Structure 1
Amino acid sequence: MPRKQKSVLLCVLTVCITSLVVGVEEKQTDEECADLNNTTWQEYRRHRVKLQVQYLLLTRRNIDCAQVFNQESLTETQQQSSYFNISRPTKVIIHGYRALGSKPSWVKQLAQALLRAQDVNVVVVDWVYGASFAYNLVVENYKDVALQISVLINQLQEHGCKLESFHFIGVSLGAHVAGFVGTLFEGKIGRITGLDPAGPMFKGADTYDRLDPSDAQFVDAIHTDSDYFGISIPVGHVDFFLNGGKDQTGCARSRFASMYGYVICDHMRALHVYMSALNGSCPLVGIPCYSYEDFMKGRCVDCAIYKGTCPTVGLSENCGITVSPIPREQKLFLLTSSSPPFCSHHILLQLEVSPLDKSAEVEVKLMTDNLGTERRLRLQRDTTVYRTVLSHPVALCEIYSIQLKNTGARFYRQGDIHIKSVCLSEFPSLRREEPICVNNINIRRGAPWSHDFVQVCG
């Protein structure tokens, strides 16, 4: 047996034996805390490390100190030392591809966020040994990982756990692992959440081989890197495409300590947004729309398909959807900020102008204290009404000023621009606010125009 396997086995035995001696009421010491594995390229080449899967358990009773969890943990002799509670729901976290063979550093943070939000069992699936280095070979392993997980789920069923009480949270390739577990249980798993499900080798895959809505009673997904590491197609009942699902704010100028961290910034944003949503500091609401382009042009501003209740990112049942049956593969769009809590307000700007002799350009600024949102609109001769969506850090009622500027110079010969009306509205409308409008505005080139609003937040 390789030295690494021996050390892991020794740790497992030490934890079990010591727990039996001291009892469940005595706090575990740091030496007893289980952790995910690491592997190295040299070890991978030397031993061609075989697929090994271990499970770690975190609950509110051991939120800072994971236990090794396996089939033996369910035996009568081990149940007294295990913190697993059969009567509570279970969250199962599955990491994805580990290019460098390192353990995922975010797992404990996600588990603790889940436990702060709900009193549940959190089971972490550690398959680092089979998830590292060669991506094409890792993809060959993912169904075997799902099979091993299904064995554990079957054991838990025999001890009284119900399939609908399981919620799988899969990151990247881990989302497809969760999907195949759901396939094995014929879609009877309660819920699967995919955090930027992996795209390479899955974009053209059959639904049997990737995450899809039939894998659980409810499947939701967050997309943040659909043009590179993530998948670009809907894979759930609801699919949140943040900022269009591709380039995330703050990642283009990222200051990660490594190039690897920079490359995966968009991909991992789904995870960080999800963890932030668990804290419940502000709602992250998705708007159903055919495409991101239509969304940004203000063509989708409500959630009529869900009878007016817009889905939210997080743990609310079915993302807050109450209609039945739940529509499948519905694209939802929302804008986010570049840092936690990532929430942003959707402001619809509608500009109506008098007919132009030539093309022009208008710069629009919305001001709130020291914060501002800016958008440039290209005005064409044959168009008089323009709609666009802006991401703003605060609600509409907190915007105190709007500024307009005719920025047309050498390439835009239009002189004065007559704006019949400029209107601002927020969607989805939580306070049933009326749009804020200003009418009959003349803007001369080089002469900015501004108007102050009366703040009406209450």
Structure 2
Amino acid sequence: MLKLCFFICLIYWVKSDEEKKCPEFTDLNIGNALSGTELQVQLLLYTRENPTCSERLIEHNVTASEYLNTFKKTVFVIHGFRPTGSPPAWLGDIKKLLLSAEDINLIIVDWNRGATTVNYITAVENCRKVAEILKNYIDQMLVDGASLDAMYMIGVSLGAHIAGFVGQKYNGKIGRITGLDPAGPSFSRQPPEGRLDHTDAQFVDVIHSDIDVLGFKKPLGTIDFYPNGGMDQPGCPKTLFSGLQYFKCDHQRSVFLFLSSLKRKCDIITYPCDTYLDYKRGKCVDCEAFQPMSCPVLGYYADRWKNLLISMGSPTKSYFDTSGQDPFCMYNYLLDITTWNKNIRRGFIKVKITDYTGNTLESEINSEASTFQQYKRVKILTGFYQDLDKISKISLTFSTKTLVGPKHKLRILQMRMKSLNNPERMFPQKLPYIDFF
């Protein structure tokens, strides 16, 4: 009898311990990727009531959830291809930051079994299956009082297209989709129904950070953001010697830019424009079409411009430059230069600003050589990683970056520098000339 009691108590203790254990994102390894994984999806719910210990949602029983409130906004986070099997490095941060920003249902869509494989095509084929599972669960949430208007899907790489497929199933009535560098391979030639598209939700915002390799180049959203032109992100490795980071750094930058917007250390201001070159030439920095609002900001709060962007009709492309590390913000200035040389001068500008306490910042404009003609105004965009409140001195260096040819002087009739982050600040300065090195 004593033995029987001990056995029953032991079973109860083990069961109780299992119930207390928090469900976690599936952690796999390169061995799993080599052998391949069968698709399994688990939905992990976090709320402000259970911010650190997830609740695994039961696919066919919404009412069984202890924490899910179907009358609240629900955010789905969907990862992409996992060739090594490990959980995404950004997973912990996005959970914490999203719950800090708003009182929501946060559902992490874990399809690591199905995304972990060395065969990328297999992961691509699983995308529509994941979308179908999500659709089935959302249907039950709708029956239990949820609204499509309050559904928000954040998809990374392949996850962006999964979000698009879910949105298509509801004829674009989902509230919002954010695509973080949507995958390009296997999707770049697909029609709208075969990938993420601006019609998949009421508002679709997309960050393109690796358009020349792993990301999708063309616009996909209501507004498409292209940091640093959409490729070669500052701070990312430039050579193969950096290993795996060389391949994934640009692609992942979209995620870290989005996370930065949640931290609110600074707003990353963007500038709607047809091309990155036009943006660098200062042609699109006034945002006149967006008055009385300011230029759109990147990330979580981009939907503040939703109604205005939708009213403009066609999808909007927006460009901006960043620094190489968090919080990634740049302090942008527009240089307005009038020259009076008799002959055309063409070269690169380096700008240095100094405040009254002697602090100095320097910026080199390398996007494309500028052309200076007699009595012509030239506008050039430049940016600094920090901001100086009271500038006492502005100096320029002009260079062709060639070792041959005669020295000349670029004569400046007038120069003004306007802060784009603080438009009320204007710095006029007249200089006799700038040496041509």
Instruction: Give 1:430 shift.
Output: 4.4
Deviations 1:394-445 (A, max 9, x none): 4464444312235467534243332111211122x64433x32222513356
Residues 1:405 and 1:332: Cα distance change in structure 2 (over 3 Å): closer
Instruction: Give 1:320 shift.
Output: 3.0
Matching residue of 1:286: 270
Residues 1:143 and 1:441: Cα distance change in structure 2 (over 3 Å): same
Instruction: Give 1:327 shift.
Output: 3.2
Q: Map of 1:385-424 to 2, 5 A cutoff?
A: 385-395=377-387, 397-405=389-397, 407=399, 411-424=404-417
Partners of 1:285 and 1:358 lie apart in 2 by 34
Q: Map of 1:240-319 to 2, 5 A cutoff?
A: 240-252=225-237, 259-309=243-293, 310-316=295-301, 318-319=303-304
Partners of 2:422 and 2:370 lie apart in 1 by 31
Conserved? CA contact 1:360–1:413, under 8 Å: no
* 1:215 alignment partner, SS class: coil
1:122 to 94, 97, 106: 106
2:119 to 134, 143, 160: 134
* 2:260 alignment partner, SS class: helix
Matching residue of 2:327: 341
Deviations 1:183-216 (A, max 9, x none): 0111111100001111111111100011111100
Residues 1:18 and 1:86: Cα distance change in structure 2 (over 3 Å): farther
* 2:199 alignment partner, SS class: helix
Q: Are 1:88 and 2:77 matched, yes or no? A: no
1:438 to 417, 420, 429: 429
Conserved? CA contact 1:347–1:396, under 8 Å: no
Taking only aligned residues, the RMSD between alpha carbons, in angstroms, comes to 2.8
Instruction: Give 1:34 shift.
Output: 1.3
Partners of 1:341 and 1:44 lie apart in 2 by 33
* 1:441 alignment partner, SS class: coil
Partners of 1:199 and 1:169 lie apart in 2 by 17
Partners of 1:378 and 1:152 lie apart in 2 by 54
Instruction: Give 1:345 shift.
Output: 1.7
Instruction: Give 1:38 shift.
Output: 3.0
Residues 1:411 and 1:121: Cα distance change in structure 2 (over 3 Å): same
Q: Map of 1:3-402 to 2, 5 A cutoff?
A: 18=16, 32-43=21-32, 48-71=36-59, 74-75=62-63, 78-79=64-65, 82-132=66-116, 133-252=118-237, 259-309=243-293, 310-316=295-301, 318-323=303-308, 325-357=311-343, 359=345, 361=347, 363-368=349-354, 369-375=359-365, 378=369, 380=371, 382=373, 384-395=376-387, 397-402=389-394
Task: Return the letter of the residue paired with 1:338.
Answer: G
Partners of 2:212 and 2:170 lie apart in 1 by 31
Instruction: Give 1:56 shift.
Output: 0.5
Task: Return the letter of the residue paired with 2:273.
Answer: C
* 2:140 alignment partner, SS class: helix
Residues 1:321 and 1:366: Cα distance change in structure 2 (over 3 Å): farther
Conserved? CA contact 1:149–1:181, under 8 Å: yes
Conserved? CA contact 1:356–1:417, under 8 Å: no
Task: Return the letter of the residue paired with 1:403.
Answer: S
Partners of 2:34 and 2:423 lie apart in 1 by 60
Partners of 1:92 and 1:296 lie apart in 2 by 35
Partners of 1:233 and 1:407 lie apart in 2 by 34
Conserved? CA contact 2:26–2:112, under 8 Å: yes
Conserved? CA contact 1:365–1:402, under 8 Å: yes
Identity of aligned residues (%): 33
Conserved? CA contact 2:339–2:372, under 8 Å: no
Higher mean C-alpha deviation, range 238-247 or range 382-391: 382-391
Partners of 1:158 and 1:142 lie apart in 2 by 25
Partners of 1:381 and 1:337 lie apart in 2 by 28
Task: Return the letter of the residue paired with 2:107.
Answer: V
Residues 1:393 and 1:178: Cα distance change in structure 2 (over 3 Å): same
Which blocks of at least 5 consecutive residues in structure 1 are unaligned? Answer: 1-13, 22-27, 447-458
Instruction: Give 1:375 shift.
Output: 3.2
Higher mean C-alpha deviation, range 58-67 or range 222-231: 58-67
Conserved? CA contact 2:271–2:320, under 8 Å: yes
Higher mean C-alpha deviation, range 319-328 or range 167-176: 319-328
Conserved? CA contact 1:359–1:378, under 8 Å: no
* 1:213 alignment partner, SS class: coil
Which blocks of at least 5 consecutive residues in structure 2 are unaligned? Answer: 1-11
Instruction: Give 1:45 shift.
Output: 5.7
* 1:214 alignment partner, SS class: coil
TM normalised by structure 2 equals 0.87
Task: Return the letter of the residue paired with 1:388.
Answer: I
Instruction: Give 1:260 shift.
Output: 1.3
Partners of 1:20 and 1:327 lie apart in 2 by 53
Task: Return the letter of the residue paired with 1:289.
Answer: C
Partners of 2:372 and 2:49 lie apart in 1 by 67
Conserved? CA contact 2:345–2:372, under 8 Å: yes
